[in-house]
Structure formats: C-alpha cells, structure tokens
Amino acid sequence: MAKTRAIVITGNGTNCENEAAHACRLGGFDEVVIAHIAQILSGEIRLDDFQFLNLTGGFLDGDDLGSAKAQANRLKHAAVAGTGEKLVEQFTRFIGDGKLILGVCNGFQLMAKMGMLPGLDGAYLTQSVTLTHNDCGRFQDRWCWLKVDPASPSIYTRGLQALYLPVRHGEGKFLCDSPDTLERIQQEHLAVLAYSTPDCESPTMEFPLNPNGSQDGIAGICDPTGRLMGLMPHPEAFVHYTQHPRWTRETLPEEGDGLILFRNAAEYVRMNLC
Amino acid sequence: MANRVEVALKQSVRDARGRRVKREIEQFLHLPVAEVRTIDVYTVDALLSWEELDQAAAGPLCDPVIQERSIDRPIAADFDWIVEVGFRPGVTDNVGRTAREAIEYLTGRQFQQGEAVYTAVQYLITGTPSPLAGEAGTGQRQTVEGDGGLCRADLERIATGLLCNTLIQRFTILSTAEFAAQGGFPAVVPRVAENAGANGRSSVQEIDLEVSDEELIRISREGVLALTLEEMLIIQAHFRSDEVRAERAKVGLGSSPTDVELECLAQTWSEHCKHKIFSGTVQYEDEQGNSREIKSLFKSYIQQTTKDVRAKLGDRDFCLSVFKDNAGVIRFNDDWSLVFKVETHNSPSALDPYGGALTGIVGVNRDPFGTGMGARLIFNTDVFCFADPFYAKPLPSRLLHPRRIYEGVVEGVEHGGNKSGIPTVNGSLVFDDRFCGKPLVFCGTAGIMPSRINGAPSHDKSILPGDLIVMTGGRIGKDGIHGATFSSEELNENSPVTAVQIGDPITQKRMFDFLIRARDKGLYRFITDNGAGGLSSSIGEMCGEVGGCRMDLAKAPLKYPGLNPWEILISEAQERMSLAVPPEQIREFLTMAKSFGVEATVLGEFTDSGIFHMLYEERTVAWLPVSFMHEGLPPLQLPAKWTPPKQEEVKVEVKDNYTDVLKSLLGALNVCSKESVVRRYDHEVQGGSVVKPFTGVTNDGPSDAAVVRPLLDSFEGVVVAHGISPRYSDIDTYHMTANAIDEALRNYVAVGGSLELVAGLDNFCWCDPVLSEKTPDGAYKMAQLVRANEALYDVCLAYNLPLVSGKDSMKNDFYDGGIKISIPPTLLFSVIGKIEDARKAVTMDVKRPGDIVYLLGTTAAELGGSEYFALLGGVGNGVPLVDTTAAYSRYQAYHRALLAGVVASCHDLSDGGLAVAAAESAFAGGYGMTLDLARLLWKGDLAARNDATLLFSESASRLLVTVSPDKSDEFEAIMADTGCSAIGVVTLAAELTIAGVNGAVVVTSGLAELKEAWQATLREL
C-alpha cells in the first residue's frame, strides 16, 4: 500500500509549520514534509507527491496588504522553475485529484482569498468570502468553544460534536460577499464550526466567546466535497493535554481535541487516496 | 508620474481601525466625534500600464468582498475633515515593500531603480451634528458650519496627538471644502533626496583634530559622537603618531581622521557598545568612610559571580558559553543547548514608541540567532516600565504622553513578536512616573540549538583569514544612524530623528528561514548580528576574532542612493546579519540565499593584518588598527560615595477592616491585571505552551512564570521568569537587586523550575551615574550601582545562579537644560532553567475546596517601598531583606514537594503582599479562602506585628501554597524546618475572609468584587 504523505508549506511568514507537522505525524501520516515555498517554486518539491496539504498559521508577508493577500497573489502568479507551469496549476490539480487541503488561521485566510473556499459549484479560484479585522480591533489569543455542524460534509470533523481550541488572530471576522453566499454555506452545511457558548449548543455573537464578530459565529468552513476546510482556531495547538489552559485543574484525556482533525485526515487518505 | 490607488471598506463593513481611532479621540483628547473611517492609499511610482495598475488595484491591493478601490480619483466622501498620514522619506514602509513585490509577481517584471510603492492612510472624521463645546472652558472655539463642531486646531491635536508621529510621518489636514476645491490629495512621493556631494557622488571628509579642546568638544557634540574630551584627545594623539602617519600615507590617507574613522571609533567606544561605566575604575566609599578601588564592575562582580558559581557547581556546571557571544548558552540536555538574551531599547522607544519597540523585539531576536552557529527562537519575554498612562500633569516638550508610549510600545512588540512566530510567554508592566523621562523596554528572546552541528559544538565558532565578509537581509539606509551614540546620552530636545528605525519582521523571518538551513548545511563559519553601530560594530567585533578585515563599503546594497561611506558603515538599518563564509562555500551560500528571496552580498574578506581596513570603490577610507579600536580606551575614573538615604517614615493605618485597602491595591497599576495587553500577544505559537500567562477556572489568573516545551516530542520543559522592583531603589539598591533576584527565582520555583539547572541574566537600567555638571549627584548614583553589583554577587552565589548574559543601559535620563527626570535605578533579573517533566508543573489557581493553605516563609515589618506605602503616598525605610540561606532551603524543599505531586497550587507573594496573593489565587481558582493572620510566622520585633503589616508586607522569599488534606502530612514532612505554616483553608463559598491577629475579621469580600477591582484598571487600554 502507498504511504500517506502530508506536506506543510512554510516561508514568507508562516509560523506554525513545526507543530502542524507534529500534529500530522501524531495523526498517523506515514511521512510529513515541511516544504519551504522556495523549494516548491524551484520545482524541488511537487505537491503532486502528497495527499494532504497543510496551509498553516502565521503572518504571510506580515499581513501587509490584508492577511494572506500577498501570498494569494504570489501563488496565483508565480511560476514553478523549469516546468513552464504556474504554481496555481499544481493546486487545482491537487484539488481535482480529490486530495485534502486544511487551512488554519493564516492558511484559512489564504484559502478564502485565493477563492478555494467555499468552492461553491466547483469554483476554486473565485473569491466570495473573506476574513477581516476582528470587531474589537485587536489581535486576540484566547480559547474558544466551537460547535460542530454534524451534517457538514467535512471529512475532518467526522464524529465530532464540539471542540475547544485556541484562536490567535487579528483578522478572523468571517464575511461573505452576499447574503446568497452565506445562505448557501448554511444550507449546504459548509459552516463546519461556529464559536459558541461553553455548552457548545448554539453559535454566539457575544465577545469574547465569539472573538471577532464573524457572521453567524462562523469559525470554519469546508467546500461541498468536505475535503477542503479552513478554520481560524488552531487544531495543531491542542494535540496534548498540557496545551490546554486548565490542564492543571481538570481531568483531561491524553490527546487534545485538535488531533482528531489530523487523525480523520490520515484515515481518509488511507481509505481513499492510497 | 505616480498614481494613487485608494482602497476603502464598503459602507456596510465595520471599520475596526476607524472605530479604534474614534474611541481614542474621545477618551484621550476629549473631542466629540461621530465617526472615523479610514482609507488605504498606495502611491505607485513605477512604470506600469493602466491595465497592470488596474489589475494590481483589483487584485493584491483590494479585497473585493469588503473593499472598493479607485485609481487617481479620490474615494473619500461624507466627512467634515480628512487627515492623510504618510511616511517621511527614507522611513521603512513595510506595506509599501510588500505591495511592490505583489505587483512584481503580477507583472512578472522587477521594479527599476528608484521605482517604489509608498503607503499612506486617510482618516475621515465626522464631528457631532451640533457643535457642542469640545473642551469646556476654552470659550474661543472658532468652528463654522459643516466642520462638525471641530476646528483646525482640534484636527492638529488629533493628527499630532494620535494619528501621526511627526518624527517619521507627515500629515495633511483638509476640510470638506478644501478637499473639494483641490480635488483630493495630490500624489506624494516621499523619495529620499540625494544629498551627497555636489557632483552627486558620495564623499569622504577629513576632520582636522589639530584644534582647541573646545573645538574638539564641539565636533563631538554636533556630530552626535558622544565622545568625551578625554576620548577626543586620545584619538588626536593616535593620529599624531609618526608611525601611524607613515602607515596611513602608504594607503593614501592623510594625518587627519576621515569621517568614516571618527564615526567608527565613536560607535565602537560608545557607552552602548563599550560599557565604559561597567568597565571603568570606581573609587567607592561606603557609609562608614571606608574606601576601596574597584577595577571594572563587570569583571569584579558579574563575571566573578559566574566564575565562582561555576566553580561551586563543579561537574554539575551547565554553562556552555557566557558573556563572549551575543547571548548566553547553557545545556538543556545531551542533545540540545539553550540560548537566552534580554536587551533594552529605551531611547528609540521614547522617540517613536512603535518603531522603537518593534525594533527592540526583532533586534533581540537576532542575538540568540547570532549566537554560536545560530539558534532557533523559541520564546520572547518583555517587560515595560512606563509612567502612569492616565498621567494628567504637564510634561516637558519633546516627551510623548505616557499613554502614547504605552500604546505604541505594546503594539510594536505585538507586531514584532506575533509576526515573527515567536510566542511571548512572560512579562510585566511596571509603573512609576519617573519613567516618563525614559520608558524602559526590555525584550528577551530564547533559542534552542542542537548541541553539536556538523560534528562540532554549536556554541563555538571561529573565523579564518581569507573567509569572506557577507551581509544578509535588509538593505542599508539612513535609518538608525547614531543609534548607539545617541542612546549613550540623555534624551534631549535635539535627539536625532535618524536614530529611529522601524523593524520588518518578515524580511527577518525570511532571512532566518534561509540561514537556519544554511547553518545545517555548514555553509558559514561565523555569524553575528548587526545591531547598534551597524557594520562598524559587527565587522569590528569579528575583526577582533581574526585580526583584521578589508571591506569595500561601495558593495553594500542600499535602500536608495546617496549614502556617504560613513553612513553605510554605521547605519543601524534592521534585519541584517554579518557572516564569515569560507570561499569554497560562497557559491552555494549565495545561490541558496537567492532561492529563498534573501539578499546576500560579499563585502570583502577577513584578514590577519591587524587592521580594520575600509574602502569605498577601492579607495581607502578607513585604516584603524584593531588593537586601537578595541583596547585604545583607558578606563573611566568613577567616584562613588554611598550615603544611605533616609526616607520619611510612613505610619501604618490602624483599621478594623482592610477590604477597601485590598481592593485599591488590586487595582493599583503595578498589581492590576494586564490581560488587555497579554491577550494581544500570541503566547502559544509553536505549540509548546504548558504554563500560559493566564490560568485558572476562567483563564484569567496571573501565572508566576512560563513553562514551554521546545521539543514537541519530549516533556522536558524550559521555565522562564523574572523579577523587578525599582521602587526599593529609593531605599537601597542592594536590596532592590536582592529582591529582584529572589522574585525571579521564587516565580521560577513556584511553577516547578529545577534548582539544578537555572541561570540568571541581568539587565541594568540606570540613570547616568557619572559625576558631572549635568549630574551633580553622580557619586551617589554610582554608589547605588556598586551596591547593586554587590547584591548581585552575594545573592547569585547563594542561589547557585550563574549569570550567562546581560546588558546595561546607563543613560536613562531626560534633560532639556531645565528639567531633569531620572528613572529609578532598575535591575531586571531574568532566569531561565529547566523542568525535567513539564507534566509536573504547578499553577497559581486554587484547585479544590477543603485544600489547606500554607504560607512558606516568614513575614516581617518590611513595608518600605511597598505598594501599600505607595498607596499611602510614601516610601518608608524598612525594605524587605532577603535571607538567602533560609530561602534556598525552602525552595529546595518546595521543589521536592512539587516533584512528589503534593502541591495543588502555588503563588508567589510580591507587590501587595499576602492579601493580594491570596485574592489572586482565590479568584483565579473560583473558590474562596479563609485565612488567619495569627498563624503567620513572624520575624522581628513583636511590637511591629499588626494586621496591616501581616496583610501587605512584601517580605521576600514567600510562597502561598495549597495542598489537598490527604497530602498535607507528606507536604509538612517535606517542608519541615523551612518556615512553613498552615494559615487557612480553601472554601466552596466564593469569598475571601481574613481574620486579624485578634480574631476579628479584617478582610471580607466576594471574589467577584475583588476580581473586578483587579481587572478594571487597564481593561479598556
């Protein structure tokens, strides 16, 4: 059987590559590669050799033109050396091959701004949603309760009802270009995660439970295939109980909530892509 | 012609930036504003087709979901006033740089020389519909219809007081009518004007030193050289030497120094780089009139401490590299080494709080990165000392309001740390109004590196003659010229604007991404940081390693043309590392740099000639013997006389109930919650967070120290903590220092740090202690410094704390000829060490009702310099005395208890004493506490034992611990004979109740009220 292989792209301000790779390994991937964008643009590493792509947290280009904007532009226009191919073609082929992409925080912002999410009607390069400045006007590092939509097609959240994860962002407010887009996201159960009350029963707009003022409390969305997902909270930051803010006072399982997303991804790859 | 692209949020989208400005205008300028909206302006000064420009505006510059755009047509509408704020020429414009790169990707073409994108922000301000008086009592407000009740003077205040730092930014204010008449703002291109010689070429001047002493002083002062007359005379003598003149003639130089040489010496000999005060010869006289000579405080105390502690540790010594590199290196385990450094960036933060602090954090990042062969950065720490942000008295001109300094510094460090992907895990905010003269901005960074890289110890490095001088990272501009020398003087009205830099975390991040890979491939032999003094300092120091260098300044990449050679040499433009690359590796090094988008340039080569040899376009412009640069300066002679100050005694209030006092203390600036700041710092990136800054049932109790796992597949943890207590300096800097060290270690111990592997790091921030006309009390301030060093040695030796690195900043004064403001002498003491198993870490929140509350340590009448006395408006004299012997055995026993798993919670007692610590532990855990003051162990005269003292004394080395009743026997057995008493119990009822010595309740309050008092003060900042 072929190996399950995950890739984490880094460079130009990506910060969470090591813990994302760690989560992939714990999640069960046979092989995990941290690839600097320079290695991809030089043709040394090809996305085609992997089944799971991690676009992880950080401050791509310093958020200078708005979070992830410059990287979205780079990925769309940069060419891979020696191939005559634009990098974006590797991305569309990756999606077309039925593979998995998980965007966390800055990676979610990148997917939104490249147009990869929500990917309605197979449009993976047309932007229709965005993530912008938190209503409070400040960067926030705090832990949030997340309600999972059990009817979502996301392959990452299978079997999950709720999650408790940290957010760490200044631009996490989810907005759609039109009420129609939002309606379709909700109708098709693409809003995988919503900031919620501590019982994880209902989405909330109340700060700081909802740290940024996202529409309908949306914290993460997926495409209609469920294979592409983006979320502002950091699943890779909670894979062991010692990362939980109250581990010294609560009895917690060894593994953190976030690890399940990576386990599900590895499981999906093993069953469907190997 | 330049084009203006304007990008505005759609009307339906909340403008978070605008709302924040609106709130600040109302809160700090007390002006009525209905709305503030913002527009981003990109001035594109490049040859682009209209289609390309349109694509750029539509694509990378604009988010179509929420924004709209226009080109060369003003987008602003519906406002009373508009203010446009842009950068002055030459100031780092990070967003402009990213926009330029984005356009280059889009068009597939590089920008030409001189082409650029410049950014600005427009603030559209709408006043209140009815022109209510903005400021009561002025009566003179000239407002007219349509100005929203705001006059031009109000807008000037908004622009200069909030929106714009005129040192680095320019602004234009237009009314609606003016805006309409002009058709908006013209495109402004803040290109740097070329000011080189008349022929447009860079020039080198000779400076005639054969002049009078007065003239020498003038040359130093007007050139911001910060050289004393004595130092100028030493330079004069050097250039008079026949031998020197003969050698100079051979390379085509005259008998006068060039500006390159003089500037280079000024940097190398600056207090900032040379630490002349710490290496000077002190004549110290104590209070009994006994005199002695101290040759170098640094050698006699700081280095001696480490030497003696290491000898004491014997084969348990864990120091690997101390004092000789950019940061200290200690062992973490067999395979990994830890690197730690804390720096200050005070003077730049006083002038431009945002840029100064940002540069502070990204600057200190380069220290561990430039230590040994280079370390991966694992966390930041930061400590800020400010004046009261609500300060309401007049300030000398040139000083920014403490509130602006607070905002700017907090944001600068936020951007620097978060964008670099380094968690900020530990810090403090300390307040004293004397910090309005100069704020203190301490930034620390730790790193980790494999103990061996390519088969050799990673903490060692060397340079061989013939190795190439390579500079990587950012380009050189006029930013940061004279940073080293200007911070070696007091802040004054003429402090140079060029001393300010703005850091760029992303350029640095790219460089680090490249260099860490180059390190593992063995592509360089030596690495160091370009900080203060720029190349003159980094190459100068590298020269000291190998014996000489030959470098052509014309090869250095510049941000814009027109820099003179001396400017290239000393510019402190950010994000640069200097390396020694073996010639056989240079091809691979440069190729790899290019593929990572990092600029790397060969500037010359290292030699063993004994000469620091600078050229410009192959013509010699500086020729300085390395020995003269590094050893040419005789030690300063520094008088010091210690006269213990006598502060007015403060009477303890005798009251039936101290609940209100406790609430006031909880709300005091030095005690209150800093959560509004801390949440803005990413403290969890990299995934190793174990003890976070906030803990407890609702994640809002203040942790004593941080625990981090730098290796995700291991449970070995790094523990970091600090201590700082400037207020005690008003009584005795010996005890200020002792308390800072003790506080650092007890915070460290509280969470579980091991005493077997812990090192210290000292950061001295002093007011000028050199006796002079400007500083008539120099002998006293110098004596304060001596006493601090004595304590440093005594306490560190007792605590087995080797000092592995540190820094001093000795000129923290403001002086404008009339008013002088000196900071209180301040030592920040940081500790870094290890917890073998991070899963054993303990936090400060009480865990369960029924747990027994213990106080470790004895309490004495030590309220001198306390928060309680400050609340009463005084200082007093009874400063806390550290009993290191008792404390060390207590800490050892506590650590055994912690390893035995019998400790439920532990919180250190510091500002505000027992009452504050108990309140914090209780509300953090969500359970109440009943305590009995009669059960505290008392030390000293019983006559001084009273409720207020027991509640608020800041006696050192005390910890408040809770233990489950079924483990209390074991705990007490372990703690036997170390000064431990059970003083109460954790209760289900959410109340803090403290009984006084006579049994009557002296404090009683619901936890919610206490927490509110603690959280309210800085919540909105």
**CATH for B212-294+463-633 (3.90.420.10, 3.90.650.10, 3.40.190.10, 3.60.21.10):** 3.90.650.10
How far does B322 lie from chain A, in Å, by closest CA?
A: 29
A133: containing domain: 5-272
Q: Chain B partners of A130 at a C-beta cutoff of 8 Å? A: 63, 65-66
CB contact under 8 A, A15 and B712: no
- Tokens 């020498």 map to which residue? B216
Least confident of A4-8, B221-225, B308-312, B586-590: B221-225
Question: Quick check: B568 pLDDT over 50?
Answer: yes
Q: State both tokens at A174.
A: 């989810």
Question: Quick check: B136 pLDDT over 80?
Answer: no
Catalytic residue among B30, B238, B345, B613: B345
Q: State the pLDDT confidence band at B414, using cuts at 50, 70 and 90.
A: very high
Q: Which residue of A has its CA nearest to B903?
A: A248
Burial label for B934, CB within 10 Å (0-12, 13-18, 19+), is: middle
Interface probe for B, chosen from A86, A88, A114, A132 (most Cβ of B below 10 Å), is: A132
* B419 interfacial to chain A (CB closer than 8 Å): yes
* Closest-CA residue to A132 (of A67, A193, A70): A67
Question: Which DSSP string do the residues of A85-108 spell out, in sequence order?
Answer: EEHHHHHHHHHHTT-EEEEETHHH
Least confident of A238-247, B338-347, B408-417, B472-481: B472-481
Q: Are B403 and B28 in contact (CB under 8 A)?
A: yes
Return d(Cα B470, Cα B784) in angstroms, integer.
43
B148: phi > 0 → left, psi -120 to 50 → alpha, else beta; which? left
Q: State both tokens at B827.
A: 């030592």
* Closest-CA residue to B959 (of B786, B693, B748, B658): B748
Q: Chain B partners of A139 at a C-beta cutoff of 8 Å? A: 414, 418, 679-682
Q: Is the peptide bond before B505 cis (omega within 30 degrees of 0)?
A: no
Return d(Cα B109, Cα B117) in angstroms, integer.
15
The more confident residue out of B273 and B455 is B455
Candidate from A11, A41, A234 with C-beta closest to B513: A11
Candidate from A132, A166, A246 with C-beta closest to B684: A166
Say what percent of chain B tops pLDDT 70.
95
Q: Which residue of A has its CA nearest to B517?
A: A36
* B513 interfacial to chain A (CB closer than 8 Å): yes
| Helix/strand/coil percent split, chain B, to 5 | 35, 25, 40
Q: Can you name the residues that pair with B118 across neighbouring β-strands? A: B43
Q: Compute the average pLDDT of residues B239-256.
A: 93
The more confident residue out of B483 and B531 is B531
* Closest-CA residue to B433 (of B397, B401, B408, B404): B401
Q: Tens digits of per-residue pLDDT, B957-974?
A: 999 999 999 999 999 999
C-beta atoms surrounding B702 within 10 Å = 22
Q: What is the pLDDT of residue B141?
A: 52
* B1021 interfacial to chain A (CB closer than 8 Å): no
Candidate from A42, A77, A133 with C-beta closest to B105: A77
Q: State the pLDDT confidence band at B139, using cuts at 50, 70 and 90.
A: very low
* Closest-CA residue to B845 (of B894, B909, B905): B905
Interface probe for A, chosen from B5, B37, B63 (most Cβ of A below 10 Å), is: B63
CB contact under 8 A, B94 and A64: yes
Q: What is the DSSP letter of B177?
A: H
Q: State both tokens at B849.
A: 């009702």
Q: State the pLDDT confidence band at B494, using cuts at 50, 70 and 90.
A: low
Question: Which DSSP string do the residues of B241-300 spell out, in sequence order?
Answer: -HHHHHHHHHTT--SSPBHHHHHHHHHHTSHHHH-HHHHSEEEEE-TT--EEEEE-HIII
Return d(Cα B581, Cα B585) in angstroms, integer.
7
CB contact under 8 A, A248 and B597: no
* B64 interfacial to chain A (CB closer than 8 Å): yes
Domain residue limits, chain B: 3-182, 212-294+463-633, 842-1021
Candidate from A13, A138, A170 with C-beta closest to B509: A13
Q: Chain A partners of B709 at a C-beta cutoff of 8 Å? A: 242
CB contact under 8 A, B696 and A249: yes
Distance from first CA to last CA of chain A, Å, rounded?
6
Q: State both tokens at B594.
A: 């290019």
Q: Compute the average pLDDT of residues B208-234.
A: 90
Return d(Cα B351, Cα B497) in angstroms, integer.
8
How far does A128 lie from chain B, in Å, by closest CA?
A: 6
Q: What is the pLDDT of residue B138?
A: 45
Q: CA separation (Å) from B75 to B83, B170, B720?
A: 14, 21, 50
Return d(Cα A5, Cα A27) in angstroms, integer.
12
How far does A11 lie from chain B, in Å, by closest CA?
A: 7
Amino acid at B881: L
CB contact under 8 A, B681 and A18: no
Q: Give the CATH number, domain containing residue A181.
A: 3.40.50.880
Q: Chain B partners of A232 at a C-beta cutoff of 8 Å? A: none
SS3 (DSSP) at B735? helix
Q: Which fold has domain B3-182?
A: Mth169; Chain: A , (3.30.1280)
Q: Chain B partners of A13 at a C-beta cutoff of 8 Å? A: 419, 421, 505-506, 509-510
Q: Where are the alpha helices (DSSP H) in B752-860?
A: 778-798
Q: CA separation (Å) from B960 to B17, B903, B933?
A: 43, 11, 13
Question: Quick check: B333 pLDDT over 70?
Answer: yes
Strands A52-55 and A5-10: parallel
Give the gyration radius of chain A's Cα atoms.
Answer: 17
Q: State both tokens at B730.
A: 């008003």
* Closest-CA residue to A168 (of A35, A25, A24, A19): A19
Q: How many CA atoms lie within 13 A of A192 on its CB side?
A: 27
* B689 interfacial to chain A (CB closer than 8 Å): yes
Q: What is the pLDDT of residue A217?
A: 97
Q: Chain B partners of A41 at a C-beta cutoff of 8 Å? A: 595
The phi, psi pair for B803, rounded to 5°, reads -90, 125
Q: State both tokens at B929.
A: 């506490």
* B12 interfacial to chain A (CB closer than 8 Å): no
Where do the DSSP E strands lie in B836-910? 852-856, 905-908
Q: CA separation (Å) from B659 to B189, B767, B918, B995?
A: 60, 38, 13, 12
Q: Catalytic: A105? A: yes
* Closest-CA residue to B853 (of B782, B936, B912): B936
Q: What is the pLDDT of residue A2?
A: 87
Q: Can you name the residues that pair with B293 across neighbouring β-strands? A: B283
Q: How many helices (H) and strands (E) does chain B have?
A: 32, 41
Q: Chain A partners of B98 at a C-beta cutoff of 8 Å? A: 61-62, 64-65, 70
SS3 (DSSP) at B125? strand
Strands B928-932 and B803-809: unpaired
How far does A115 lie from chain B, in Å, by closest CA?
A: 11
Q: Are B844 and B701 in contact (CB under 8 A)?
A: yes
Q: What is the pLDDT of residue B241?
A: 93
Q: How many residues does chain B have?
A: 1021
Q: Chain A partners of B102 at a C-beta cutoff of 8 Å? A: 65, 69-70, 73-74
> CB-based contacts of B720: which residues, under 8 Å, 6+ apart?
B340, B379, B381, B425, B426, B446, B705, B706, B708, B748, B830, B831, B832
Burial label for B774, CB within 10 Å (0-12, 13-18, 19+), is: middle
Q: Where are the alpha helices (DSSP H) in B116-258?
A: 152-158, 176-182, 213-222, 229-240, 242-250
Q: Compute the average pLDDT of residues A112-127.
A: 96
Q: Chain A partners of B65 at a C-beta cutoff of 8 Å? A: 127-130, 175-177
How far does B509 lie from chain A, in Å, by closest CA?
A: 6
The phi, psi pair for B864, rounded to 5°, reads -60, 130
Candidate from A64, A130, A213 with C-beta closest to B63: A130
CB contact under 8 A, A242 and B838: yes
Q: What is the pLDDT of residue B816?
A: 84
Domains identified in chain A, total number: 1
Q: Tens digits of per-residue pLDDT, B859-872?
A: 999 999 999 999 99
SS3 (DSSP) at A263? helix
Candidate from A70, A129, A143 with C-beta closest to B65: A129
The phi, psi pair for B870, rounded to 5°, reads -60, -40
Least confident of B490-494, B500-504, B675-679, B826-830: B490-494
- Tokens 């939509």 map to which residue? A149
How far does B704 lie from chain A, in Å, by closest CA?
A: 14
Q: Chain A partners of B841 at a C-beta cutoff of 8 Å? A: 242, 248
Q: How many residues does chain A have?
A: 274
Return d(Cα B692, Cα A142) in angstroms, integer.
11
* pLDDT, averaged across chain B: 92
Q: Tens digits of per-residue pLDDT, B616-666?
A: 998 999 999 999 988 888 888 999 999 999 999 999 999 999 999 999 999
* B13 interfacial to chain A (CB closer than 8 Å): yes
Q: Which residue of B has its CA nearest to A178?
A: B65
Q: State the pLDDT confidence band at B135, using cuts at 50, 70 and 90.
A: very low
Interface probe for B, chosen from A133, A221, A254 (most Cβ of B below 10 Å), is: A133
Candidate from B63, B420, B842 with C-beta closest to A69: B63
Q: Can you name the residues that pair with B932 across neighbouring β-strands? A: B995
Q: Chain B partners of A86 at a C-beta cutoff of 8 Å? A: none
- Tokens 């009584």 map to which residue? B731
Q: State both tokens at B847.
A: 């865990």
CB contact under 8 A, A61 and B517: no
CB contact under 8 A, B841 and A22: no
CA dihedral B591, B592, B595, B596 (to 10 degrees): -140
Give the gyration radius of chain B's Cα atoms.
Answer: 29
Q: State both tokens at B805.
A: 């690195």
* Closest-CA residue to A159 (of A50, A57, A268): A268
* B104 interfacial to chain A (CB closer than 8 Å): no
CB contact under 8 A, B845 and A140: no
Q: Which residue of A has its CA nearest to B594?
A: A38
User: b vs e for B786-796, b when ≥16 Cβ sit within 10 Å of the residue's Cβ?
Assistant: bbbbbbbbbbb
Strands B81-87 and B116-127: antiparallel
How far does A23 lie from chain B, in Å, by closest CA?
A: 10
Q: What is the pLDDT of residue B497?
A: 56
* B504 interfacial to chain A (CB closer than 8 Å): yes
Return d(Cα B157, Cα B161) in angstroms, integer.
5
Amino acid at A267: E
Return d(Cα B21, Cα B123) in angstroms, integer.
9
CB contact under 8 A, A239 and B687: yes
Q: CA separation (Å) from B79 to B135, B637, B803?
A: 21, 63, 58
Q: State the pLDDT confidence band at B222, using cuts at 50, 70 and 90.
A: confident
CATH code reported for the domain at B842-1021: 3.90.650.10
* pLDDT, averaged across chain A: 96
* Closest-CA residue to A174 (of A136, A226, A219, A211): A219
Q: State the pLDDT confidence band at B107, using cuts at 50, 70 and 90.
A: very high
Q: Matching CATH topology for B212-294+463-633 and B842-1021?
A: yes
